[in-house]
Amino acid sequence: MNDSKIWAALEPLHPSALDDMPMDGNWLKPPFANDPSGRAIVCNDGDFQFVVVDRKRGSVLFVCEDDESVVASSLESFVKIVAAWGSIDRDAPGPEDDADFSEVKKSFEQQLKSLDPVAAGSNEFWALYTEELTSDDYVDIDDELDDDDDEEQETDTGDNDRPGADESFSLA
């Protein structure tokens, strides 16, 4: 698959619809560089995560270091998934609203199963991403920063080993 076919699918989504996607990095324009496997790099975070289009099969993959997962089994289904994700991304509550978000997650998973059963697989990008969002380990960075502002920071005076004024000190 050449750059013009890839860009024909991505251009209508560029940049706003793609920016809604839950992937770090910049969505690129052609000419697309190839990764070591000859796949077109369409999104790159400049570090160790990127999104590629397999030029032979047309599948869209999320690559993070040595791990790969399917975002979409074809560019055609990728376009439909972007539209489905965009509609819930704009209207959905965040993971902090657990009950509502759980319903949105289920709805998206059902849509995904009908749009692209391969991408809906349990070890593929979307399942891993939504599992991370709904796990107890998820931390909203903005909430964490707000919490830090509310707490008073204790300062270390360096007097931790000296007895206080009301404590007696003796050499034994």
> Tens digit of pLDDT for each residue in 83-94?
998 877 665 555
Domain range summary for the chain, segments of one domain joined by +: 3-140
Q: What is the mean pLDDT of the chain?
A: 80
pLDDT band at 169 (very low <50, low <70, confident <90, very high): very low
pLDDT level of residue 170 (50, 70, 90 thresholds): very low
Please list the alpha-helical segments (H only) found in the chain: 3-10, 16-19, 75-91, 98-115, 125-133, 141-150
84-88: long-range contacts, CB 8 A cutoff, minimum separation 24:
84/108, 84/111, 84/112, 84/115, 85/20, 85/21, 85/22, 86/17, 86/20
pLDDT tens digit sequence for 39-81 = 999 999 988 899 999 999 999 999 998 899 999 999 999 999 9
Distances (CA, A) of 8 to 2, 4, 13, 62: 10, 6, 10, 20
Mean local confidence (pLDDT), 6-28 = 93
